[in-house]
Each structure stands twice: as C-alpha cells, then as structure tokens.
Amino acid sequence: MGSYPPPPYPPPPGPPYGGDWKYQRRVLKEQARAQRDMARAQRDAYRYQARSLRRSSILGPLLLITIGILFLLVQTGRIGAHSLWDWYGRFWPLLLVGAGVIMLLEWAYDQYMQSDSSQPRYRRRLGGGVFTLLLILGITGIVFSSVRNGNGHSYVLNGLNLNQDNIDEFLGDKHESDQTLSQSFPAGSGFTVDNPRGDISISGTSDDNQIHVSVHKEVYTRSDSDADSKAQRLNPSLSSSGDSLNLSIPAIDGTRADLTITLPATAPTIVTANHGDVHVSALKAPLQVTANHGNIELTAITGPVIAHVNNSDSDLSAHSVSGPVTIQGRGHDTTLSDLSGPVTMSGDFFGTTHYERIRGPIKFHTSRTDLQFARLDGEIDISHADISASEAVGPLTLTAGNRNVTLDRVAGDVTVTNRNGSVDLTSAPPLGNVTVENRNGSVNLTLPEQSNFGYQLDATNGNIESDFSQIKSDDDDDKKNVITGTIGKGGPLLHISTSQGDISVKKGSVMPLPPMPPMPKITPLPPMPKITAMPPDARQAMEEAKQEAREATSEGKEAATEGQREAKQAADEARREAKQAADEARREAKEAADEAKREAKDVKQQKDPNE
C-alpha cells in the first residue's frame, strides 16, 4: 500500500487509517470544505474585480442639477411654480426620453472606448438611487397630468392622457347607426339632457312646439350581433319630471352617441356632457352647461349662461350673448365676443383668454391673475407670459405676476400690481387716478398732452424720465429716487412705484374712446328641417364636411394668432423706433442749447472784455 500524509489529528488505532469509515468521511468533508472556501474566495475576488470595472452613469448628477436649477428659478421668481407644474404635467414623458438618450450615448461611448481588446472591459451601472428618483418623478408626472386633465373615472388613464375613443377603436370595429325621436314639448317646461359619451348639439329653432332628437350611434366591437344588441340598448329616453323634460342616454361600454336636438327657443336648458363637445345656439332662455371632457361653443343666447369646464385641455367660446355669463372650472383657451351682460370667470385657465367687445363689467380670477374692469370696447389677451388690453374702460384693477402688461387707451381709474415684468400703460381721456406697483420691472406711462394731474414717482434702483418739464429726477440718491409734484391745475393722482426698473412718463396724442355702438340684434338661425334618418352616404358626407369645417376653423384661428403676433411685433418695433427718435431729438436739442449758450457767452465776453 502507498504511504499517506499524516492527518491533522491523531489517526485511529490499528493499521494506517485502518478500516475506520468514519475517519475517512471526516477527511472527505475537510477536503470539500477547503474546496468550497477556495471557490468562495475566487468568487469574491471576481466580484471585487468586476465591481472595480463598473462606472456610474452621469444621469444621476444631471437629474439633480436640473431639479436644483428649476427650484432655484422658482424661488427667485423667474418661473412661476404653477407654470412649472403645469408644464411638467403635460411634458413629463420627455424625462424618460432624455434619460434613455443619455444612457444610449453612454453605451455608444463605452463601445467605442473598449474597441481595443488590450483595455479592460467595464460596464455602466444606473444605481438604485437614480432608478428610485426616476420612478418618483414618473409617478409625480402622472399625478400632475391627472390634475390637469380632470378627475374622471380613471385617474391613471387621465394621467397617461389616453383617449377612451381611441382605445375603443383599437379593441373593436366601428358599427354606426342612426335613430330619430320626436314628441310635443310641454308649454312652459325646461329641458335637461345628459350624455355620458358623445357630442351634444342644441338649437332653439323648433317652430312646431316639438322636440326633435337625432342620435348617431357608434358601437365598437368585433361581433355584429353584439353591435346590434348594444345599439338597441343605446336608445334615448325622454321623460317628464315636474316642469322639466329630461333626455338621457344609457352608459354602455364601447359605445358613443352624438345628439342633434332642436327645441323651442324659450325652453330653459341644462346640458351635461361627460365625454364630448357641446354646441348650443339660438336660445332665448337661461342655459347651464357642464362639460367634463370636451369643448363648449355658445352662439346667439339671450338668457343668462352658466358654464362649467372641467378639463384643462378643453376650449370654450361664447359669441353674441345678451345675458350675464359665468364660467367656472378648469380649461384651456377661452374666447368671448359681443357680450352685453356682465362676465365672471373663476378657476384655472391654462391657454389664452381672449375678450372682444363686452358691454358689461368683467371679473377674471385665477390662482395667478385677478382682473376687473367696467367695459371693453376693444380686446384683451391673457396668456402665460403677457397680458394686453386695448380700449378698456375703468375702474380697472389688475393683479398679476411674471407677466409683461400692456394696457393701451384705458380710460378711468387704473390700478396695476405686478412683479417680474414690465408695465406699459397708455391712459385715454378722461384721465383717472393711476396706481402702478411693480417689482423687478420697468413702468412706461403715456398721458394725453394737455393733462392736469398730481404725481408721486418712486423708482428704487432705477431712473425717472419724463416729457413733462416739471417732472425732474433727483440724482442725489442712486438707490432711491422719489419725486412728487403737480402738473397744471392738478387733478387725478399718479402713484407709480417700481424696484429694479425705470419709470418713464411720456406725452402722447391719445384720443378719447368713442361711444360704444349699439349691440347688433341677435337674429335666430333659420329653422332646421325636420330630422329624419340619414342614409350612410349622407352621414359620411356630413362627417367629412364637419371635419373640413373644423380644419378651416383651426387654420383661421392660427392665421389670426399669427396676425396678432406680427401686429404686436410691429407695434413694439414702432415704439422702439419712436423712443430712439425722441431720445435723438432730445440729445440734439440739448447740444443745440449748449452751443447757443456758449455762443452767447462768447458774444457777451467780446462786448465786455472786463467781465
């Protein structure tokens, strides 16, 4: 037998290693344990080497720097917090796109640098902290997007901005059908309609004391039999409750019902649309409209109007309304024109608000802006960055922030409070009291040439310039420049104060506002023909015509916006050129006056050399 190395402990008695199977088992266990320890040490060494070859991604530092810069801009007032969260709620998926682009660029760079086989190969790691930060930012984006899009039945779907109609079309084929319904309309009754999914078009042009309802049904399913069953269940229901006639449509998954309704013009109407647009015209009665996920369009209404918009992507327009108009909720673009009664808007409106020719007082209140004035002969535009108004009648009160304010030909008392933006005001006769408090911005005031007023001008860390010779700046204190006085016989008080900006008071040839012409008489639309079932070809042609009309309206709106932008740019350029010309004229006049003084002094010295 061969010789064996001595074990680490005494062998059992007997021949070498004898026949003791227990001892042999212990030896084998010790050898297996040593092998495991060696394998574990090799694995730890490999892990240490692999960990040393890892490189952290630059995505984490970039995210922290970006977040810090945004918060710094909010704290310093350069960006409004509301605007930041609204923008983030709309465009938060760009965060994931940017993260993916950075990681792709890092991978491409690593592949290029490791093309040399002699160099050790390493890999990038994202890190649990960066992944958690991305997850939190994504969830935050979904939440803020849900807040923007309204609090519908599906919070996550609203946050992801998924359209339920698109989902239905993806899951099933479209099946279309039409149905009509007519019955007598009770005298003196109101009308209520509730449609869970679909557009509602109402016209007060029924001349036979009946209500006519046309329903265009759309069913999304893969089965024809299922489509027929759902279409039969999707029938409109007319019922009377007290002094009101109610029209309702059942809520069925995968269906949509567009309603076209004509009824007597004198019927008070209440409209509720969950997912769909609302169009109402030619009514001579009170109107109340609620659109949770859709646009509202109102035309030729002679009664009071109350509108609720509950989606930040929805638009509202109202034209030729003679009664008071109240708008509440959350919306995007708002357009109001040719209104006779008072207008009240409250809520949050994230697009552009445009007013034209409003006879009654206007109250506009959001979380960022508070605007009130007595009458509007011209127009007003309110956007995220600017507020501009022309031919408005005061008393006008405006409180805003992070906006450039331009008020042209405003008559009566004016009070403006603003920050982080300029204020340009042109007062039309009769001149009223003007109070402007601005922070971090300049104030430019243009007054009629022959104005009489008292003034108190306060420019902290700024200069005061004036075309009125009596207004002279005090240059003794560079930090605080305050002057007071009276022009002419006195009268209205001009109290202008600003910090980190200049004050400019100019003379201008400003004409008074003309008397407002009488509001054009609202003529009802011609009666619509009695609704009957349409053949498929006619329905298709009507849908194509509606689509073309929508496209034409969109193009017209874009063209009008572009025209307004170009006109504003031209006006700004004209103002700059006029200011430059005026400055040049003042410099030339000053130089001429200095030259004249020098010549007069020389002449005097020649006449009297002893002086």
Strand locations in 440-478 (E) = 443-448, 453-460, 464-466
Residue range 574-599: mean pLDDT, rounded: 68
Higher-confidence residue: 320 or 580? 320
pLDDT at 191: 96
| Same domain? 374 vs 503 | yes
| Same domain? 227 vs 258 | yes
Q: Which domain-ending residue is among 159, 186, 212?
A: 159
**How far apart (Å, rounded) are the C-alpha atoms in residues 92 and 142?**
8
What 3-state class would DSSP assign to 464? strand
Segments forming the whole domain that contains residue 385: 368-513+522-529
**How far apart (Å, rounded) are the C-alpha atoms in residues 336 and 343?**
9
**How far apart (Å, rounded) are the C-alpha atoms in residues 233 and 247?**
15
Rounded to the nearest 5 degrees, what angle is found at the Cα of 327, between the Cα atoms of 324 and 330?
A: 175
Tens digits of per-residue pLDDT, 419-434?
A: 989 999 999 988 899 9
Tens digits of per-residue pLDDT, 490-541?
A: 889 999 999 889 999 998 888 888 776 555 554 444 444 444 444 555 456 5
**How far apart (Å, rounded) are the C-alpha atoms in residues 396 and 409?**
12
What 3-state class would DSSP assign to 398? strand
Q: Closest by alpha carbon to 305, among 314, 313, 315, 316?
A: 316
pLDDT at 543: 64
| Same domain? 150 vs 110 | yes
Tens digits of per-residue pLDDT, 107-150?
A: 787 777 766 666 556 566 676 777 788 888 888 877 776 655 54
pLDDT at 505: 93
Q: Which domain-ending residue is among 285, 319, 350?
A: 285
> Two tokens at 173?
């084929």
Q: Distance of CA 141 to CAs 88, 161, 406, 436, Å?
A: 6, 11, 34, 38
| Same domain? 65 vs 201 | no
pLDDT at 531: 42
Residue 297: inside a domain: no
Average pLDDT of the chain? 80
**How far apart (Å, rounded) are the C-alpha atoms in residues 444 and 422?**
8
| Same domain? 144 vs 260 | no
Q: Closest by alpha carbon to 446, among 472, 473, 466?
A: 466
Tens digits of per-residue pLDDT, 408-422?
A: 999 999 999 999 899
Tens digits of per-residue pLDDT, 282-295?
A: 999 999 999 999 99
pLDDT at 563: 59
pLDDT at 222: 84
Per the structure, the count of domains in the chain is 4
Most confident stretch, 82-96, 151-165, 495-509: 495-509
| Same domain? 111 vs 245 | no
352 Cβ contact partners less than 8 Å away, ≥ 6 residues apart:
333, 334, 381, 382, 383
Residue 166: inside a domain: no
| Same domain? 260 vs 379 | no
Tens digits of per-residue pLDDT, 293-313?
A: 999 999 999 999 999 999 888
| Same domain? 453 vs 386 | yes
pLDDT at 151: 42
Residue 164: inside a domain: no
Q: What is the bridge-based pairing of β-strands 334-339 and 316-321?
A: parallel
On the question of pLDDT at 395 being above 80, the answer is yes
Residue 129: inside a domain: yes
Residue 25: inside a domain: yes
The overall longest dimension of the chain from CA atoms, in Å, is 149
Among 34-38, 467-471, 567-571, the range scoring the smallest mean pLDDT is 567-571
